[in-house]
Amino acid sequence: MDWSAIAALLAAEGLEVIQDPQQRQKLSTDYAHFSPILTEQLRGKQADLVVLARSEAEAIAVILCCVANQIPLTVRGAGTGNYGQCVPLQGGIVLDLSPMQRIVSLEAGRAVVEPGVKLGKLEQQAKQMGWELRLLPSTYQTATVGGFVSGGSTGMGAVNYGTLFDPGNVQSLTVLTMEAEPQRLVLAGEAAQPVIHGYGTNGIITEITLPLAPALPWQEAVVSFADLSAAIAFAQNLANQDGIVSKEISIQGHPIPQYFSSLKNYYQPGDHWVMVIVSALDWLAFTELAKSNKGQIIFEQNPQAPGKKVNLIEFNWNHTTLLARAMDSSLTYLQVFFYQDLEQILTLEKLFQDEIMFHIEMMRIQGAMCLAGFPLVRFTNGDRLEEIMAAHQNLGARIANPHTYSLAGGSVQPLPESQLMFKRQVDPFNLLNPGKLTD
């Protein structure tokens, strides 16, 4: 392929095209370095061109060019995913939609946005109207809405709203098909399901409608426990309180809190933390519950107040792994959906001792509170990692493998046939992020 000619062609249509190798490399990566396996597998994968689109019309121009020349096209937002979602396995063009930053409408309970809108900016504007996003990943300050819907699944708010897959949590998506005559499909409700968490393999999202949650006055806190069992019991107890509204409940087992350097003054070695964002309206009931569970509230702050010390969500979800790896790059992680109970966790603790550390997020899944595991793992080699995962599976602690770039490989269930059918329909030449849907 004559990439200079393609670049010239696109530039002639007014598009911003990046040819600089360093910039292309930067815009061909995400946080897949969380996984030493993916780091190896994705090494050197790089776009031949990066194209920035500021509008749907510009995105269509890129589609036309790619279909005409049978060029693979991989869409990216801010690149905060961690399974190589936006890494172009076969090179070709990376289409960066982050310039599509228009908030089309923001009304009570509903936001319509272009894919490049940053979650943090949308959250901030929604808050000014008394609303907030239902689900927010720990990367929200930089992540885009389109990237979250394409590559993410949940985050803060999971204790109430579950995941992006739950009907209602994405109201509609507008996607462009990868055809010689691109169609603009408006997929509302169930019809949008094949595109959610689809890694951009089945349509290019140009508009997203999300429901909003009413904003409550929140309070952030860290509750410390002398043993892991007590921390887990409290987290479950809190999650199942119907009169205490929470928005985030995580367990950070010893010694994970040592990696939270901006909270180091609060950490006593040996302690296990439960980190929460809870309604300030229910604060008294929360403190009484912590006390009766023998937990000690060692940190609290009003996140709405000016001059807050830290941002609690930025210690949780994928940020836990990020912070731990910033201090010890030999660490990696797993995804356990879900730990069945405390006993299973204690069995795993005995089995692997210092080799794993328990980071658990409370999530509501089909109405039931679940213990979603994101344990940190001290990496030695790939075989040992496989062994650890197999031991989890054997005990019934199902693994969603974060060490694979394929959607099918990372899922706990086979991909639905409807998703594969949809793929064939919207991307007949298999040009969208090829190699990511199935192995």
Residues within the interface to a copy of itself (CB under 8 A): 108-110, 130, 134, 160-163, 166-169, 171, 188-190, 211-212, 214-217, 239-245, 279-282, 284-286, 288-289, 364-369
How long a stretch of residues is the chain? 439
Closest to 320 measured CA to CA, from 334, 337, 340? 334
CB of 132 to a copy of itself, least distance (A): 10
Q: How far is the CB of 217 from a copy of itself (least distance, A)?
A: 6
* CA R_g for the chain: 22
Contacts of 138 (CB under 8 A, 6+ apart): 155, 156, 313, 314, 315, 316, 317, 318, 319, 320, 322
Looking at the Cβ atoms of 240 and 380, the one nearer to a copy of itself is 240
Residue placing its CB nearer to a copy of itself in the complex, 71 or 249:
249
CB of 286 to a copy of itself, least distance (A): 8
**Residue 364 CB, nearest approach to a copy of itself (Å):** 5
Question: Strand pairing of 103-107 and 93-96?
Answer: unpaired
Closer by beta carbon to a copy of itself, 189 or else 270 = 189
Minimum CB separation of residue 361 from a copy of itself in Å reads 14
User: Which is closer to a copy of itself, CB of 169 or CB of 316?
Assistant: 169
Find, among 88, 60, 89, 61, the residue nearest to 76 by Cα: 88
User: What's the CA gap between 381 and 398, in Å, rounded?
Assistant: 21
In the bound state with a copy of itself, the residue whose beta carbon lies nearer, of 74 and 419, is 419
For residue 34, which of 385, 318, 332, 381 has the smallest C-alpha distance?
332
Q: What is the smallest separation between the CB atom of 198 and a copy of itself, expressed in angstroms?
A: 18
Q: How far is the CB of 214 from a copy of itself (least distance, A)?
A: 3
**Is 269 strand, coil or helix?**
coil
Pairing of strands 172-176, 184-188: antiparallel
CB of 162 to a copy of itself, least distance (A): 3
The residue among 161 and 234 lying less far from a copy of itself, judged by its C-beta, is 161
DSSP 131: E
Q: Which DSSP letter does residue 431 get?
A: -
Shortest reach from residue 154's CB to a copy of itself, in Å: 10
Find the helix packing angle between 228-239 and 342-352, rounded to 10°.
150
Local structure of 85: helix, strand or coil: coil
95 with 74: CB under 8 angstroms?
yes
Q: What is the 3-state composition of the chain as percent helix, strand, coil, each rounded to the nearest 5? A: 35, 25, 40
Strand 93-96 and strand 73-76: the pairing is parallel
Return the C-alpha torsion angle 399, 403, 406, 410, nearest 10: 10
- Give start and end residues of each alpha helix (H) in 277-353: 283-292, 318-327, 342-352
Q: Which is nearer to a copy of itself, 284 or 383 (CB)?
A: 284
Nearer to a copy of itself, 65 or 372 (CB): 372
Q: Which is nearer to a copy of itself, 165 or 424 (CB)?
A: 165
Nearer to a copy of itself, 64 or 285 (CB): 285
Minimum CB separation of residue 342 from a copy of itself in Å reads 16
Residue matched to tokens 């994101």: 374
